[in-house]
Structures are given as structure tokens and as C-alpha cells.
Chains A and B, each alone.
Chain A
Amino acid sequence: MQGLDFSVVAPYVDILLMGTWWTAILTVSAGALSFVGGIIFAVVVLYAPAIVAYPVRLFMWVFMGTPLLLQLFLIYFGLVQIGIDIPALVAGIVGLGLHFAVYNADVLRAGIVAVDFGQTEGARSIGFGKWQTLRYVVIPQAVRNTIPPIGGNMIALLKESAIVSVIGIAELVHSAQLAISETFRPFEFYITAAALYYLLNLVLEAGLRRFERNVEISR
């Protein structure tokens, strides 16, 4: 027992803030990927011919049933094995993005099915094509109705992003580990990192709440 002394954190504030910044970048990029991927997966599962839809369903089923950490190992080491040498950061964004795309797809699929069929009939009867109906009428409504659960997934993504430190991405956990390797003060630095995550979480939650309210008004 050596006692706690949070003043050891002071010289490393820059590094920790840099890590926080990278965690934010990681969350935003993986979040965007998971959103777009979620829409694509949902549409494919619902409307694509079986030969495309079934492999995607199988993929979703596997990714829902296995841990993110394991998936990251597959993506990071697997792509190298088949000759694609990507930087850890890209592997991390792709891994996080795909993992949450599957969860978003699940939500969006239900959202698309829940859009009143009269909307489709209306769009079709005024001459929209099938694709146009989906693109301009059904999906926008489905997305708006599923914003709260998708927001919940984004908050989960922020916290799960800590995991990508294991493949060596210099985000918040990793920068804390760097400081610990020099100071041997894990408690102080991990608590500081936790506080920074908590702050990021508050910011994201506030942003999502604001966004939800704006969408409500335009209804």
C-alpha cells in the first residue's frame, strides 16, 4: 500500500486529453459506420434476394452471439492473414462499427416494418418507384422513430470503445496505460480515465437528448 496521490496525474494531462480526443474520434467514426451499416444491413435483410440476405443474416447472427473483443482479434489478425495490412485504428473503427451496425440493424429492421403500410401505398400510388419509396418515405420515418434505441447503442459504443486499446490504438485507456508504465500509479490514472469517460458520456447523452427534442419539434 503506497497511498494515493492524484498530483502524479498533472504532468500527463496533455497525454490523457489527447487520448480522450482519439476516443471521441473513434466513437464518432465507428458510430457513423454503425449507423450507415445498420441501415444497409436492415434493408438487405428485409428486401434483398435470399442469396444476399441469408449470408448477411448469418453474419448478424454470429456478431450478435460473440464478444466484441473476439471480433476485434478476428478483424485485426484475420485481415493481415489474408494479405490486407490495415492500421490498428482502421481495424478498431471497422470492428466497433460492424459490431454496433448489427445492433442498429436489428432496431432499424423493426422500425422499417413498423412504418405504416399506407405510407408505402401512398408513395407508390403517386408514382414513386420501390427504391424511391424506401429511400424517401420509409427509411426516414423508420430512422426518426428509432432514434432513442440507436442513441442508446451509441452510448454503449462509446464505452465499448475502451476495448480497442488491446489492439494498440492510442485512445484514452491506452494513454492511461502509457502514463502508468512510467509512474506505476494504476489507481490514479484509471480513475482519471474513468472520470473522462464519464464526462464524454454526459456530453453524448446531452447531445442525444437535444437531438431527440429537435426531431420531435419537426414532427
Chain B
Amino acid sequence: MDFSLMQRVFPFFVEAAFVTIEITALALVLGLVAAALAAAAKMSRSAPLRTIGTLYVSLFRGTPCLIQLFVLYFGGPQVGINLEPFAAGVIGLGLNIGAYMAESIRGALVAVDRGQIEAARTIGFSRFQTLRKVVLPQAARLMIRPLGVNTVALLKGSALVSTISVVELTYTAQRFIGSTYKPFEIFGIAALLYMIMVYAVARVVDMLDKRFAIV
């Protein structure tokens, strides 16, 4: 182990880790919006909306995230979509994780006991009121853990944007492996930073889960 090398390159990796955080955070926001819309579409009463929601979820979950990024970034210009690597990365990752999160959200909504809805409707709540005041508060609790798992997957999946030349943590690691021929040292630094981020997210999810737990 060449510790002096590790010390020397460490600042570059910290900087790159912040790019990873930035991309993950932006993609998370986009993903949550896409997921909420897709879940709503899949559960809506209108058949065309249901088809759109189902298609989105099925296509984005059924193909590799890498290919989705490539279609967007390399194929985009052919259909008039010119994106910077960073923007393409955020949109690609966001749309991909949105499809997974849509299923997490839908799963939580479906898991709320039917009797709750029937009771709310019986005492005169409208469909919207039932959703807003009865179903969502209960479903929100059930969503925390699956959405947390999705977020960790997104954080690790953000490594993929290195292939469209976004200078984030994995891209930096790859470049330093190429220039120093010290794969173990470089992996060690990058792995350390990824694990700090991953386990920080896991802790936050744990805390949220406890905070909103019943009992």
C-alpha cells in the first residue's frame, strides 16, 4: 500500500465525491417526482394514463440503466436533444430510478388496508380527501424503507455516469488507476468515500423509519 500516494490524491477524490452527491441529490428529486406521477398514473381511473404509467415503469425497469444513459446522451442529438454530460446523467439516472420508486410508492399505497378507505368513504370523505387524509399518511410510513433502498441503489448507480464523461468519483478513480497503476490504493480511497455516503444514507433512512414508526 502506497499511503503517500493515497494522501496526495485524496483531495481530488473528496471533490469528486461532492459531484457524486450533487448528481445523486438532483436525480433523487427528479426520480421522486417521476415516481409520484407514474404511481398516480398507474393507479388512475383513466385507461390511457394507466397504460402510460405501466409502459414507463416496465420499459425503464426492463432495460439497463447504462443503455438508457447512452440513448439519451449519444442518441439524443439525433432527435434534437443536446445535453451536457452532467444534465444527461441527472435526467437519465432520475428517470431510471423513478421507475423503481414508482413501484415502491405504489406498493405502499396498495398495502394500506382496504377497510380504511371504505370507512373514510362511509363517513363522507371524498375520494381526494380519503387519499389525502387517510391513505397517504399511512402509506408514507411504509414507503420510507423501500425508497431508502432505491436511494442507495441510485447513489451506487451514479457511478454509471462516468461512462458519459461526468467527472465524479468513479471517473476520477478510473483516471487515477490509469495514471498511477495502483488499483488497490485508488479503489481503497473511492470505496471509503462511497461507503461513507452509502452508510450515511442508510442511517438517515433508519432514523426516518424510527421517527415515523407507530408505537
Binding site for B on A (CB under 8 A): 1-4, 61-62, 64-71, 73-74, 77-78, 81, 159-163, 165-166, 173, 180, 185-188, 190-191, 193-194, 197-198, 201-202
In the complex, 19 of the A-B residue pairs with CB atoms within 8 angstroms, ordered by the A residue number, are A62-B195, A65-B195, A66-B191, A66-B195, A68-B156, A70-B159, A70-B173, A73-B177, A74-B184, A162-B67, A186-B71, A187-B79, A190-B67, A191-B71, A193-B67, A194-B63, A197-B62, A197-B63, A201-B62
Whether A73 and B66, one on each chain, are in contact in the complex, defined by CB atoms closer than 8 angstroms, is no
Whether B194 and A197, one on each chain, are in contact in the complex, defined by CB atoms closer than 8 angstroms, is no
B contact residues around A65 at 8 Å (CB): 156, 191, 194-195, 198-199
Interface centre among B65, B184, B191, B199 (most CB of A within 10 A): B191
A contact residues around B177 at 8 Å (CB): 73, 77
Number of A-B contacts (CB under 8 A): 120
A194-B68 contact given A69-B160, A74-B184, A201-B62, CB 8 Å threshold: yes
A67-B157 contact given A190-B70, A191-B75, CB 8 Å threshold: yes
Instruction: List which B145-186 residues lie within 8 A (CB) of chain A.
Output: 156-160, 162-163, 170, 173-174, 177, 181-184
**The one of A68, A188, A197 that contacts B67, using a Cβ cutoff of 8 Å:** A197
The complex places the Cα of A186 from the Cα of B76 at a distance, in Å, of 9
A81-B181 contact given A159-B64, A190-B67, CB 8 Å threshold: yes
A115 CB → nearest B CB, Å: 25
Indicate if B4 sits at the interface (CB-CB under 8 A): no
Interface bracket on B: 35 or more
A contact residues around B199 at 8 Å (CB): 65
**The one of A3, A61, A71, A163 that contacts B66, using a Cβ cutoff of 8 Å:** A163
A67-B170 contact given A186-B75, A198-B59, CB 8 Å threshold: yes
Main secondary structure of the interface of B (DSSP, over half): helix
Instruction: List which B68-115 residues lie within 8 A (CB) of chain A.
Output: 68, 70-71, 74-80
B contact residues around A198 at 8 Å (CB): 59, 62-63
The complex places the Cα of A102 from the Cα of B176 at a distance, in Å, of 27
Q: Taking A70-B159, A73-B173, A160-B64 as given, write out 20 further A-B residue pairs in contact, using a Cβ cutoff of 8 Å, ordered by the A residue number.
A: A3-B78, A4-B78, A65-B156, A65-B191, A65-B194, A65-B198, A66-B156, A66-B195, A67-B157, A73-B183, A77-B181, A81-B182, A161-B64, A162-B64, A162-B66, A187-B78, A194-B64, A194-B71, A197-B62, A201-B62
